[in-house]
Structure 1
């Protein structure tokens, strides 16, 4: 047997256990933000000692959830091609990703640590490109990003039957279109009655 095979198997088992713990933590904490690590261990189907070995404290677990979500946001920025795609199309694609993540990670999205400098920088670059393309007139990309994130929260909180989301069977797409149109209008881009292609 290869001398490296056992350590690789142990690492793979540890990675699987960590993934199960994080998945269970997301589900349990979305229902009860005060749930103890023991309840998360039960939901993951793992021994409590395993959870405590992977995460020495509740804070360490929350940090891991935030880091995982931040990585998914970074991946979303890359997939949206915020540095190369037409900026409005990139914004729409990133927004669809953000809403999909908010649905799948209802607890973790509340953790401000998921908005890492890398994520914020990617959004700032996107808003600079929107300004340079004339899609918005607001001169400060940071202000654009702050407006976007504030409205992202508000649109996310709309009930599914809100008249603001009417006109589409795809809830993620409807929320993304509403947010992008609203942000562009708020930042001096689209005017009421105008329609950007694809929205």
Structure 2
């Protein structure tokens, strides 16, 4: 399936190329998903206490398979059973329950992993030090990649947990702080309403992922994240009217 790639404005292109020339590190969603194992080995599994040490290699592979399967299955059917998740993960149901005492514990493990990856995505954008235009483009591309992988955990009401509330609280506060910096440095208009700007920006990101009522294929999002981020940023900053 061919995806239309939007044109890149000259100022956006120059800024991005300049920054990437000095920092070529780029988030890979595939590698980020595999880090679920590290996070899950340290969250509460429903047994009443968190695990303080990483799991053995074989157990880590099992946890990885379960979490990856859970996100994939629940994204398609939020009411899916633990047995369905086990089947998708290639393990028996008792194995899932041995790692996660109940469904809520599994969802909390997903939230813990998603939080770690979101925070990594934000840190990778250097929102407090990079030129604001570059940082905005980079964090947008990173968020598109991460949110495309975590469609259930970061996008469905059934995945709401105290931890996901913390996630969005931190993201919301960080967005306002960054927009304030961008405003101070002239990227946003001095009289711009930052709360409204945040709502508009979030809407553009969500529409890019879910436009037309259907989720985009995660692989397609990963391949075209930079192009879509350029379109989002240009629309956010310049709108869709004629430019003088």
Q: Which runs of 5+ in 1 are unaligned?
A: 1-6, 160-169, 195-199
Tell me how far apart the structure 1 counterparts of residues 194 and 59 of structure 2 sit (CA, whole Å): 41
Residues 107-186 of structure 1 aligned to structure 2 (within 5 Å) = 107-111=152-156, 113=164, 115-137=167-189, 138-158=191-211, 171-185=224-238
Tell me how far apart the structure 2 counterparts of residues 8 and 132 of structure 1 sit (CA, whole Å): 44
Tell me how far apart the structure 1 counterparts of residues 129 and 54 of structure 2 sit (CA, whole Å): 40
Structure 1 position 178, deviation (Å): 1.5
* Distance 1:10-1:66 versus aligned 2 partners, 3 A rule: closer
The answer as to 2:108 corresponding to 1:63 is yes
Tell me how far apart the structure 2 counterparts of residues 95 and 77 of structure 1 sit (CA, whole Å): 9
Tell me how far apart the structure 1 counterparts of residues 176 and 94 of structure 2 sit (CA, whole Å): 42
Structure 1 position 191, deviation (Å): 7.2
Task: Spell out, residue by residue over 1:2-34, the C-alpha distance to the aligned partner (whole angstroms, 9 max, x if none).
Answer: xxxxx9685554433322211011121222222
Q: Which runs of 5+ in 2 are unaligned?
A: 1-51, 213-222
C-alpha RMSD over aligned residues: 2.7
TM-score by length of 2: 0.62
Task: Look up the match of 1:85.
Answer: 130
Higher relative contact order (CA 8 A, sep 6+): 2
Instruction: Report how many residues are paired.
Output: 175
Larger deviation, residues 102-111 vs 128-137 = 102-111
Tell me how far apart the structure 2 counterparts of residues 171 and 193 of structure 1 sit (CA, whole Å): 25
5, 15, 26: which is aligned to 2:71? 26
Tell me how far apart the structure 1 counterparts of residues 99 and 175 of structure 2 sit (CA, whole Å): 32
Tell me how far apart the structure 2 counterparts of residues 90 and 68 of structure 1 sit (CA, whole Å): 23
* Distance 1:37-1:83 versus aligned 2 partners, 3 A rule: same
